[in-house]
Chain A
Amino acid sequence: MVSILLSHWMRERRNPFLLLLFIGISIIATLMFGGGMTQKMKIDVFSETGELKESEKEWLLLLNKGDTFKFRAQDEQSARTKVREGRADLAVKLTGDDYRIIAVKESPNAQLAEQHIRTVFERELELRAVSAAAGDEKGFRSRIDTYLEEPPLTLQVKGTDGEELLRYDMGLQLMFGFSLFLVMLTIGFKVNTITKDKITGIWSRLILSPVRKSEIYFGHLLYSTMIGIVQITVVFLIFRYAFNFGLGHRYGLLLLVIALYSMTIVAMCILLAGILRTPEKFNMLFPSIVPIMPLVSGVYMPPGTITSPILLGVAEIFPITHAMEALTGIAIYDNGIGELWLPLSKLILIAVLCMGIGINLMERRHV
């Protein structure tokens, strides 16, 4: 078995580009599609008089108090050009204590921004009006600020189970999704070396050697699983430490899910290789079949988007569905092994069935 691992490693060392390519694509895809989930939306602000006045700079400060938007001063022409060319959803024109939204189409981002700007302006103008009515404007604002820092009443929002209401991190979900999707391709092409070896006669050479058939299979499968674990782990570590993604604190459980998922994908690839018979067919059809799985499993969409019972049923047979459930459970909801047994059991079940049938099919057609 060690010699089989060695053969894989010798070839990997000679040609590591496939592994590096898929690691790179996982990172780029997550940053491209999931980057917007963690970054603030940038909105250009300009004044009708050209330079922002002092009062308008104060409005800019107030607008920037929040996590969602980043308002920045910009000259009118470039702000309008960006909106016109579709490079920005909207821009804001400040007119003293008032504003105008510049947009060419309705969009969810523009609606959210408009809501935020209106709230900021309404609140500030109300405070100003009340302060003015109170007579002691400075003293009143100071008391209001104190109240806001230490309010007499606080409102706490909790989930139905009494726990803190968690904020769902779509960027994290996409990172998991792309990593799990791309590792399927890496593993698939590794598993396909078994059928390649059978066609080229290398398998027969190994069968005639003192290495047992079970060792040959185990060596191939172990290497494919290990390469899958390495790829996902590298991507996760890069996002954890380079991009500050929160993966929770249960790293052991994350590793367990990664290992089980990789093993299940290896089993699934064995089944496909057994059905498709030749390495050429596998190379042609496998990359066409695999992208359907995350789509049907709703990996790229917020939870609950897919409601069709048929699609949900089909998604049940895909390992990525259960691995996503387990990974988001650990990283976002801090789930322990007690909550994860169901998706993990499903992964194991799929692995056992695919491996059994797949090896049987392969053995029927070859030595």
Chain B
Amino acid sequence: MLETVELRKVFKGKTAVEEVSLYLKEGESVGLIGPNGAGKSTTISMISSLLKPTAGDVRLNGQSVIKHPQQLRKVLGVVPQEIALYEELSSYENLKFFGKVYGLKGKELELKIQELLDMVGLRDRQKELIRTYSGGMKRRINIAVALMHDPKIVIMDEPTVGIDPQSRNHILDTVRHLSREKGTTVLYTSHYMEEVEQLCSRMYIMDHGRIIASGTKEELQLILSGEETLLLRLDRQHAEFTEELQTLAAVRQVEETELGLKLIVTKNHQILSRVVQAAERFDVQILNIHIDSPSLEDVFLHLTGRNLRD
């Protein structure tokens, strides 16, 4: 339905996005994850026709929309990262205004407003000014506004940043509702891997302006299929012990956690005995060992060398 072909964006000689190719099939939810500065928002701006790419193409049903974005704009709803609302108006007035912008009027407009207020759970507070809302409530209305014209494709740019758990759940439910019951195609960007895992059937991982991996959760986990995660609970942190573990051939990554260390290690190896021996050498007591398959966070760490929210 919607695809990008080798999108590239250069700002004042600095490349923000390089060769980004992705696609969204009709009705599917796709995640776009990456740390701050990875190029997600720039990519979204180019896909939604708000920013002209330096090179590459955006296609809707095979037709380029770079020069004539009207077709895309008709079917597209964008939820920006910012709260793009008139703070001095109520949520009802905001929805009414943006509805009118999209040509809705009369009963149709009124029904749509109430349907969306129901969807985001703010019908009983529709007359209150946006500036009196909590951050989470503002984000819910931010989403509702983008859905006023029943878009076939919705792009959401980190819609759950800095909000309370109740609003977060509402937003996640809204996305599920859009995807499952309305058949809306969703491109969802987030810092939170668990959100993308819950909502999206496929995902793209971006770093330094490039897509470094893509696929379903299972496909991405296969990247680390030959590896497993060891969670060591220790009586104390010991720098030399950590350094020693890093020198072991089977150890791919070592990360300090609150209670000890997290290791990504190659499977089927005599790793446990070596770890225990090292601990004895440095007089570090291992209180607990937990062996797990690598998570998507681990895959991300493996691919980018940093955590998602670094």
Contacts and interface: CB of A to CB of B under 8 A. Distances in A.
B88 A201 contact: no
Given A3-B101, A10-B97, A210-B103, A204 B89 contact: no
A200 interface: yes
A205 interface: yes
Interface centre among B74, B84, B88 (most CB of A within 10 A): B84
Given A3-B101, A6-B100, A208 B78 contact: yes
A14 B89 contact: yes
Given A11-B89, A367-B50, A367-B51, A204 B101 contact: no
A7 interface: yes
A210 B149 CA distance: 11
Contact of A204 (B50, B85, B86, B100): B50
A204 B86 CA distance: 13
A202 interface: yes
Nearest to B93: A10
Given A11-B86, A11-B89, A367-B51, A209 B80 contact: no
Given A3-B101, A211-B101, A204 B88 contact: no
B89 A209 contact: no
A200 B84 contact: yes
User: Chain B contact residues: over half helix, strand or loop, or mixed?
Assistant: loop
A206 interface: yes
A6 B78 contact: no
B84 A3 contact: no
A14 B131 CA distance: 13
Given A10-B93, A204-B50, A367-B51, A210 B101 contact: yes
B73 to A, nearest CB: 5
Interface string B214-253: 0000000000000000000000000000000000000000
Q: Which of B50, B81, B102 has the most CB of A within 10 A?
A: B50
Given A3-B97, A208-B50, A367-B51, A202 B84 contact: yes
B246 to A, nearest CB: 44
A160 interface: no
A201 B101 contact: no
A6 to B, nearest CB: 7
Contact of B97 (A6, A15, A200, A367): A6
Contacts of A6: 97, 100
Contact of A209 (B50, B83, B101): B101
A15 B86 CA distance: 12
Interface in B89-113: 89, 93, 97-98, 100-103
A11 B88 CA distance: 7
Contacts of A7: 86, 97
B58 to A, nearest CB: 14
B50 A207 contact: yes
A201 B82 contact: yes
B42 to A, nearest CB: 13
B264 interface: no
Contacts of A14: 88-89
B11 to A, nearest CB: 12
B43 interface: no
Given A3-B101, A6-B100, A10-B97, A208 B85 contact: no
B116 interface: no
A206 B80 CA distance: 12
Given A367-B50, A367-B51, A206 B101 contact: yes
Given A201-B80, A202-B84, A205-B84, A210 B102 contact: yes
A11 B78 CA distance: 24
A10 B100 CA distance: 13
A201 B85 CA distance: 8
A51 B48 CA distance: 89
Report which residue of A14, A206, A207, A209 has the largest number of chain B beta carbons within 10 angstroms of its beta carbon: A209
Contacts of A10: 86, 89, 93, 97
B84 A204 contact: yes
Given A11-B86, A11-B89, A210-B103, A205 B76 contact: no
Contacts of A209: 73, 98, 101-102
A209 B100 CA distance: 10
B17 interface: no
A131 B100 CA distance: 87
A202 B78 CA distance: 11
B30 interface: no
B86 A205 contact: no
Interface in A1-44: 3, 6-7, 10-11, 14-15
Interface string B113-134: 0000000000000000000000
A204 B146 CA distance: 11
Interface string B47-75: 01111000000000000000000000110
Contacts of B85: 200, 202
A201 B84 contact: yes
Contact of B76 (A3, A200, A208): A208
Contacts of B74: 210
A205 B78 contact: yes
Nearest to B48: A208
Given A10-B89, A14-B89, A209-B73, A204 B80 contact: yes
Given A3-B101, A367-B51, A208 B73 contact: yes
A82 B97 CA distance: 61
Listed from nearest, the 5 A-B pairs whose CB atoms lie closest are A201-B84, A201-B82, A201-B80, A209-B101, A3-B101
Interface of B: 48-51, 73-74, 76, 78, 80-86, 88-89, 93, 97-98, 100-103, 145-146
9 contacts: A3-B97, A10-B86, A14-B89, A201-B81, A205-B146, A208-B73, A209-B98, A210-B101, A367-B51
